[in-house]
Amino acid sequence: MLRLSTEVQLAVVAHCLAGLPEEACGLLAGDPALEEVVAWYPTPNIARSARVYTVDPLAHLRADRDAEARGLQIVGVFHSHTHTDAYPSPTDIAQAPDPTWHYVIVSLRDIQPVLRSYRIVDGAVEEESVVVRTHWAQAS
C-alpha cells in the first residue's frame, strides 16, 4: 500500500501535466516502514521524450541528500504516460532499479489524470492500493 497526502498527489499530477508533451518524472520520499510519502522531488526527464523517461542523476543525488537530511529515504519514483494507461511499460519494468520502491504512474491519456502505483520485483508487476489522505494523524 502507498499512502500520500492530497497535497503530494496534486503536486505530482500537476508536475506531470506541466511536462506535456513529454513524460514528466520525479522521486518520492518518506518513511519506508510506514509506506507514507511525505515529500516529492520533481526531476528533469533527461530523455526529453513523450514515450520514455530518465531521471536526471544530479537531481536524484540532490533529492537523496535532502531526504536523508530530513530523516527520510527515497521510496519510489513517479512518471507520466502521455498516451497510454497507468501501467508499467516493458521499458519501465526493465529499468525498475529497486524492488522495495513504489512505481507511480500518472496516465494523461484521458481528460482526467489517473494515478496508480506498483511494486516491480524481478520483472513481476503487482499493483498496490493508493491511499490519499487530507489529514495525517500526528503522534502524541
Which pLDDT band holds residue 134 (cuts at 50, 70, 90)?
confident
Please list, in sequence order, all residues whose beta carbon lies within 8 angstroms of the beta carbon of residue 66, skipping any fewer than 6 positions away.
29, 39, 41
Strands 36-43 and 102-107: unpaired
Kindly report whether the global pTM for this prediction surpasses the value 0.85.
yes
Residue 137 has pLDDT above 80, yes or no: no
Distance of alpha carbon 89 from alpha carbon 83, whole angstroms: 12
Mean pLDDT, the chain, whole residue set: 93
Give residue for cell 510519502: 37
Residue 138 has pLDDT above 60, yes or no: no
The domain made up of 2-133 has a fold known as: Cytidine Deaminase; domain 2 (3.40.140)
- Please state the domain extents for the chain: 2-133
Residue 17 has pLDDT above 50, yes or no: yes
Q: What are the DSSP E strand ranges found in the chain?
A: 2-5, 25-31, 36-43, 73-81, 102-107, 114-121, 124-128, 130-133
Residue 139 has pLDDT above 50, yes or no: no
pLDDT at 31: 86
pLDDT digits (tens, 9 = 90+) for 51-83: 999 999 999 999 999 999 999 999 999 999 999
21-48: average pLDDT: 93
